[in-house]
């Protein structure tokens, strides 16, 4: 008898290591372009951009690093931080 392991009731997104498949494909294409430009032009800017993209799209428990950054910015910069309680 074969046993199959399904991800979270078939509702979770497909992941390749720590990235979604779409992000992983973009990273692979970016690495190819970055290595080609590094070999031809000796510039590290595309490689740095790919590394930054890889860090920002790193995903654990269906939350990416960029999601944490967005929530932190909205909490610290855009929402009220001071609460005043009044007695009746």
Token pair recorded at residue 45: 């800017």
- Cα-Cα end-to-end distance for the chain: 68
- pLDDT surpasses 90 at 3: no
**Residue 11 or residue 73, greater confidence:** 73
Question: According to the model, what pLDDT value does residue 4 have?
Answer: 64
48-79 pLDDT, tens digit per residue, is 999 999 999 998 887 889 999 999 999 888 88
Question: According to the model, what pLDDT value does residue 11 have?
Answer: 67
Token pair recorded at residue 15: 């992941």
Mean pLDDT of the chain: 86
């Amino acid at each position: 008898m074969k046993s199959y392991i399904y991800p979270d009731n078939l509702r979770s997104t497909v992941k390749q290591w720590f990235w979604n498949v779409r992000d992983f494909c973009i990273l692979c294409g970016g690495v190819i372009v970055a290595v080609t430009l590094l070999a031809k032009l000796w510039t590290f800017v595309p490689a740095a951009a790919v590394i930054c993209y890889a860090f920002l799209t790193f995903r654990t428990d269906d939350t990416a690093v960029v999601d944490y950054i967005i929530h932190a910015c909205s909490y610290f910069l855009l929402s009220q931080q001071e609460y005043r309680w009044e007695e009746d």
